[in-house]
Amino acid sequence: MKKILFVTSEVHPLIKTGGLADVSGSLPKALAELGQDVRLILPNYQAIKTDKDLRFLCSLRVDNREVNLLETQMPDSQVIVWLVDFPEFYNRPGNPYLNELGEPWPDNADRFALFCRIVVEVAMDRAGLDWQPDIVHCNDWQSGLVPAFLSLETTKPASVFTIHNMAYQGLFPAESIQGLNLPGQLWNPEGLEFHNMLSFIKGGLIYADHITTVSPTYALEIQTPTFGYGLEGLLEHRKDYLSGIINGIDTDLWNPETDPLITQHYSAASLPKKQYNKSELQRRFSLQVNDHIPLFGLIGRLVEQKGIDLIIDCLPDLMSMPLQLVLLGAGDKIFEQRLQNLAHIYPDKLAVTLGYDESLAHLIEAGSDVFLMPSRFEPCGLNQMYSQRYGTLPIVRKTGGLADTVVDALPETIANKTATGFVFNEASSSSLLETVKRAMILYADQKSWVKIQTNAMHKDFSWRHSAEQYLMLYRSL
């Protein structure tokens, strides 16, 4: 049994701004189910929601600051959660990183440096908890200084640093190091300095014993200038200590056999029942109720990263084809406006809902035949995995986690029963359009289509599978 200290700045359902919270909520639970001793640690934000008791553990003095450690538990799990309680830094309304104007808190460097110092005290068993981890698993820039500080200790636990998105690096002006008490040996270009800025993420990339990211393809992509954001050289230098492990999905929440948010439950063995969800989706959006017209779905942020512009550019062509498209999302106002205009022009073929609606998202996954996800980059991605589980074949661009989780329907992959969707290479509307045509041709051959749906629904995207890979990594350290 390994003792694992899981370090994160957010965890679902306690507090969430994005995908990091989903991973932090699921992976520790899956590791605990594999018999490991996992403890989560995060700051005690004002917005944390917990239905479990909070109890005081101890006080620590760091940098002349008195910090309390509180203990609670993850909902629906035995996993213990430690909250770093320092009201001056963390007891603020709203988002963990941003103020009410949507701007980063000006003292974020101080806030997360203090968090990292407390994590190190706990990791070195100096908090009087009589528990020392074998592995300290850090996530994203907010915990990047932990491996850096641990590098100064003797007889320390092994450290793993996971990158969820390289675009977020925790960069701060050099002046901010004045108050941080950074040891001199860490402040140089081979350490935490990045073009005369303080880089939190470099702490993880340089000093962690192993770096992981959320898919094998993204692990290769971040070693290139397009995806490395200036750190590709460092990542390439450390490539022997860098690997990609695909995130899992919540297979209880996303399960067409039990999903309470869909019209009709179904499984790979009862695929014709999926049709009832399609009819309901068509009715809800006043589209023609017809089971022979392929229905395409899209759920996501309407931003360039997600390739929404590629879809808009080829929409007039798509609308000339016998298909329907249902779209749910929010994002850039320009894209929102263009989509609404197009929905007015093609009311019988295109339905656009701006915003986010959880139950509609489930119905779109269950009721669509094809799911569009033409992202320019996607470290891991979840919707392409949900779609396969619901027998909705995804069209994806060959990037990041999309490349690792969708097998293109080609004559040989259809024959050997591995095909689960459609993949294209170039981020252009013409490539996307060609792939849509390919899907339409295959849809006309329902016998082959059902075979691919069945392959997709049998794939194992559970967190258990991912947790086993992490456990193998921990043991190798």
Nearest to 278 by CA among 326, 229, 343: 326
Instruction: Over range 276-300, report the average pLDDT.
Output: 96
- Please, what's the b/e burial string for 370-381 (b: 16 or more CB within 10 A of its CB; e: otherwise)? bbbbbbbbbbbb
Q: Alpha-carbon distance 191 to 185, whole Å?
A: 8
Going by pLDDT thresholds of 50, 70 and 90, the confidence category of residue 75 is confident
Task: Dump pLDDT digits (tens) for 3-13.
Answer: 999 999 999 88
For 150-186, the pLDDT digits (tens) are 999 999 999 999 999 998 999 999 888 777 888 888 9
Q: What is the pLDDT of residues 203-229, one digit of tens each?
A: 999 999 999 999 999 999 999 999 999
Tell me the pLDDT band of 396, cut-offs 50, 70 and 90: very high
Residue 421 is classified by DSSP as B
Per the CB < 8 A criterion, the answer to whether 24 and 6 are in contact is yes
Instruction: Indicate the helix (H) or strand (E) that contains 38.
Output: strand 37-43
- Kindly indicate the confidence band of residue 50, based on its pLDDT and cuts at 50, 70 and 90: confident
Q: What is the pLDDT of residues 226-240, one digit of tens each?
A: 999 999 999 999 999
**Rounded to an integer, what distance in angstroms lies between the CA atom of residue 230 and that of residue 216?**
20
The dihedral through the CA atoms of 465, 471, 476, 477 has a sign that is: positive
DSSP state of 106: T
8 Å CB contact between 151 and 209: no
pLDDT, position 102? 83
**Distance of alpha carbon 398 from the chain centroid:** 17
The per-residue pLDDT for 362 is 96
SS3 label, residue 15: strand
pLDDT on residue 63:
85
* Whole-number pLDDT of residue 183: 86
For the cut 90, the answer to whether the pLDDT of residue 127 exceeds it is yes
Residue 293 has pLDDT above 90, yes or no: yes
What strands, in cross-sheet order, belong to the sheet with 197-199? 171-173, 197-199, 193-194
Tell me the average pLDDT across 80-93.
Answer: 95
pTM above 0.85, yes or no: yes
Question: In order of start, what are the domains of the chain with their CATH numbers?
Answer: 3-248+464-476 (3.40.50.2000), 268-460 (3.40.50.2000)
Assess whether pLDDT exceeds 90 at residue 356: no
Neighbours of 159 (CB within 10 A): 26
pLDDT class of 25 with cuts at 50, 70, 90: very high
Parallel, antiparallel, or unpaired: how do β-strands 197-199 and 135-139 relate? unpaired
pLDDT at 27 over 80: yes
Give dist(CA 265, CA 378) in Å, integer: 30
Omega of the bond leading into 13 within 30 degrees of 0 (cis): yes
Q: What is the pLDDT of residue 354?
A: 93
Long-range contacts: 182-185, Cβ < 8 Å, 24+? 182/113, 183/152, 185/152
**What is the rounded distance in angstroms from the CA atom of residue 382 to the CA atom of residue 372?**
13
- For 181, the token pair is 């008490």
Which of 371, 129, 385 lies closest to 250, judged by CA?
Answer: 385
Does the pLDDT at position 331 exceed 90? no
Write down the pLDDT at residue 272.
97
Q: Which amino acid appears at position 46 of this protein?
A: Q
Looking at the predicted structure, is the pLDDT value of residue 101 above 90? no
Q: What is the pLDDT of residue 1?
A: 93
What pLDDT score was predicted for residue 184? 85
Residues 6 or more apart in contact with residue 39 via CB below 8 angstroms? 3, 4, 5, 6, 79, 80, 81, 82, 131, 133
Q: Which two tokens stand for residue 466?
A: 């991912």
| Local structure of residue 103 (DSSP, 8 states) | P
pLDDT, averaged across the chain: 94
Look-up: residue for tokens 């995908």?
19
Look up residue 55 and give its two tokens.
């109890």
Average pLDDT value for residue range 405-433: 97
User: What are the φ/ψ torsions at residue 430 (nearest 5 degrees)?
Assistant: -70, -40
Structure tokens, 11 = 């965890």
Residue 129: count other Cβ atoms within 10 Å of its Cβ: 15
- C-alpha distance across the termini of the chain, in Å: 14
pLDDT at 116 over 90: yes
Mean pLDDT confidence for 286-302: 95
User: What is the pLDDT confidence band of residue 53, given thresholds at 50, 70 and 90?
Assistant: confident
Q: Which two tokens stand for residue 336?
A: 């929102």
